[in-house]
């Protein structure tokens, strides 16, 4: 018996060490990728080793950690689905025994724990540390800035806990709820993260439909559109004439002192726009036939198919919710991964679910930066401040943490949520889940209809040559009149 007990303890020890090593390697890869992404967009600073440089470096490391956790949250559900299908396909294979329920469940718990840590501790610390200067009258330095940061974090924690305490007391005023108000670890943190997840779900509900329609525009800018009833040579010739006219006006206006202000700036801006249009037209002219006539339609069909399948799966999930209560998202503590397939059509269905998850995540990020409210957070290569990077990391963390919840709520996958993800209070409310599905289906459909009707109208006007009649007003020319959209002078 003692030998058996020692053997079991050794097996448990080795399995735990193996899980820790796997988790560390996965996170190390995500951290390196996140660091490369952030340094690509971070504004370049001088090499002087001063106090601000140390603060920026610490904030950079914290942002990199947060972005790595966001990547883990994005890959969490697809990794779990892939592991389940692999274990079903090769149940007795010795080389994949490390893929077990304990590892998957541990990953879910770690991602949930790190998400809370980044959202409530690391990112507020990075922001306050970046903006801190030390209290008035104290000696300046890193220690003074750290002290001010911790004081601000303490006050912020009191404010958030007070708001949660008042909100929970107003919502649930029974005796059991009143007793749980004094339980910080078992009540406050799960309830607070449940509220954050609900906000993330609502943010995804607002961003994803916009991103699904915006994806067509983004891919249209990256790819070369086919030339239908268009004469590119004539358009390039007209663009050249407009560019020369603007260049002459810009050179002529430089001799007048009263036109060197905003009007010259406007001319330079319009000249840059004209040159960008010329570059795009020349790229379209030089593109090969298969790129113009084959690649673009295929990509557009893939995007349309992905969006249509997503809407159909959500509509089917609405029917499931109305007739079967087991379709409600719920948390699971079962670690027996690999017993049954959670996809209706096996491996092909699981692959489709994973593709749709990544497609929805990319669309949500595109839609997030397309909204006017969050346009200021759009990162720019080598010209993004640390404050903007912190805002981007927090936003992506909220979106990625809500992605598993949204995928399960919309019926994209049937994989039950593991770890603390299944403790969200609002997941058990039938009316919230049903309304979420209906809003997603309706808003996505409306965005697509509006997108395609406007795109078809623009293409018809362009093919008939009527788009040239739509001229936009430009600032007044102080010399003799107004400047039209194509750079020619309009006589008063």
Question: Could you tell me if residue 154 is inside a domain?
Answer: no
Whether residue 31 is predicted with pLDDT greater than 90 in this model: the reply is yes
Distance (Å, rounded) from C-alpha 45 to C-alpha 53?
8
**Which SS3 state, helix, strand or coil, does residue 200 take?**
helix
The count of other CB atoms within 10 Å of the CB of residue 477 is 18
Question: Could you tell me if residue 195 is inside a domain?
Answer: yes
Question: Which domain, by its residues, includes 76?
Answer: 1-131+180-225+291-455
Question: Could you tell me if residue 199 is inside a domain?
Answer: yes
Distance (Å, rounded) from C-alpha 62 to C-alpha 415?
31
C-alpha distance from residue 169 to each of 83, 181, 183, 281, 466 (Å): 42, 8, 13, 62, 62
Lowest mean pLDDT among 85-94, 108-117, 276-285, 316-325: 276-285
The H-or-E segment that residue 490 falls in is: strand 489-491
Question: Could you tell me if residue 330 is inside a domain?
Answer: yes
Task: Quote the radius of gyration of the chain (alpha carbons, Å).
Answer: 28
| Surface-to-core class of residue 390, CB atoms within 10 Å of its CB (0-12 exposed, 13-18 middle, 19+ buried) | buried
Question: Could you tell me if residue 404 is inside a domain?
Answer: yes
Of 188, 44, 77, 70, which Cα lies nearest the Cα of 123?
70
Question: Could you tell me if residue 481 is inside a domain?
Answer: no
Helices (H), 93-188: 101-117, 123-131, 142-171, 175-180
Prediction pTM value:
0.77
Question: Could you tell me if residue 236 is inside a domain?
Answer: no
pLDDT at 212: 85
Looking at the structure of the chain, the number of domains it has is 1
Lowest mean pLDDT among 253-262, 360-369, 407-416, 466-475: 466-475
Whether residue 181 is predicted with pLDDT greater than 80 in this model: the reply is no
N residues, the chain: 492
348 or 345, which is more confident?
Answer: 348
pLDDT at 301: 85
C-alpha 279 chain-centroid distance: 30
Please give the order of strands across the beta sheet that includes 476-477.
476-477, 481-483, 489-491
pLDDT at 103: 83
Q: Decide if 357 contacts 79 (C-beta within 8 A).
A: no
pLDDT band (50, 70, 90) for residue 34: very high
Which two three-digit tokens encode residue 392?
Answer: 């981007």
Contacts of 203 (CB under 8 A, 6+ apart): 368, 398, 399, 402
Question: Could you tell me if residue 469 is inside a domain?
Answer: no
Long-range Cβ contacts of 221-226 (<8 Å, 24+ apart): 223/291, 223/295, 223/296, 223/299, 224/283, 224/284, 224/287, 224/291, 224/292, 224/295, 224/296, 225/284, 225/292, 225/296, 226/292, 226/293, 226/296, 226/297
Whether residue 49 is predicted with pLDDT greater than 50 in this model: the reply is yes
For 463-486, write each residue's pLDDT tens digit.
555 555 543 444 434 333 334 434
Q: Decide if 234 contacts 469 (C-beta within 8 A).
A: no
For 155-179, write each residue's pLDDT tens digit.
888 887 777 777 666 766 555 555 5
The count of other CB atoms within 10 Å of the CB of residue 303 is 19
């Amino acid at each position: 018996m003692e030998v058996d007990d020692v053997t079991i303890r050794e097996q448990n020890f080795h399995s735990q060490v193996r899980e820790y090593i796997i988790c560390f390697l996965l996170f190390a890869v995500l951290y390196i990728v996140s660091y490369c992404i952030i340094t690509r967009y971070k504004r370049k600073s001088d090499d002087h080793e001063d106090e601000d440089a140390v603060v920026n470096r610490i904030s950079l490391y914290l942002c990199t950690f947060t972005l790595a956790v966001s990547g883990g949250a994005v890959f969490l559900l697809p990794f779990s689905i892939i592991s389940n299908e692999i274990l079903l396909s090769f149940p007795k294979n010795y080389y994949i025994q490390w893929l077990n329920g304990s590892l998957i469940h541990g990953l879910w718990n770690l991602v949930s724990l790190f998400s809370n840590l980044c959202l409530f501790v690391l990112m507020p610390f990075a922001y306050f540390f970046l903006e801190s200067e030390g209290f008035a009258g104290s000696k300046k330095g890193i220690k003074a800035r750290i002290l001010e940061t911790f004081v601000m974090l303490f006050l912020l924690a009191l404010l958030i806990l007070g708001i949660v305490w008042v909100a929970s007391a107003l919502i649930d005023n029974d005796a059991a709820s009143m007793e749980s108000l004094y339980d910080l670890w078992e009540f406050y943190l799960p309830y607070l993260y449940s509220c954050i997840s609900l906000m993330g779900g609502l943010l995804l509900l607002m961003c994803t439909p916009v991103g699904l329609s915006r994806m067509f525009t983004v891919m249209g800018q990256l790819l070369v559109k086919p030339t239908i009833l268009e004469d590119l040579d004539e358009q390039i010739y007209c663009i050249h004439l407009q560019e020369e006219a603007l260049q002459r006006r810009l050179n002529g206006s430089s001799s007048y002192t009263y036109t060197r202000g905003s009007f010259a700036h406007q001319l330079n801006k319009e000249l840059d726009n004209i040159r960008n249009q010329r570059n795009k037209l020349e790229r379209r002219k030089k593109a090969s036939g298969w790129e113009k006539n084959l690649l673009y339609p295929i990509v557009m069909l893939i995007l349309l198919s992905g969006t249509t399948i997503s809407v159909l799966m959500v509509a089917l999930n609405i029917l499931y919710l109305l007739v079967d209560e087991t379709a409600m998202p719920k948390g699971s503590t079962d670690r027996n991964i690999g017993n049954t397939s959670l996809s209706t059509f096996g491996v092909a269905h699981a692959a489709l679910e994973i593709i749709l998850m990544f497609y929805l995540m990319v669309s949500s990020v595109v839609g997030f930066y397309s909204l006017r409210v969050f346009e200021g957070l759009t990162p720019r290569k080598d010209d993004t401040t640390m404050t903007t990077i912190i805002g981007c990391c927090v936003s992506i963390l909220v979106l990625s943490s809500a992605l598993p919840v949204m995928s399960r709520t919309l019926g994209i996958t049937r994989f039950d949520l593991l770890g603390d993800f299944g403790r969200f209070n609002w997941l058990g409310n039938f009316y919230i889940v049903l309304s979420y599905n209906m809003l997603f289906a309706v808003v996505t459909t409306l965005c697509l209809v509006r997108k395609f009707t406007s795109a078809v109208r623009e293409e018809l006007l362009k093919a008939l040559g009527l788009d040239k009649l739509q001229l936009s007003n430009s600032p007044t020319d102080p010399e003799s009149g107004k400047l039209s959209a194509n750079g020619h002078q309009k006589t008063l």
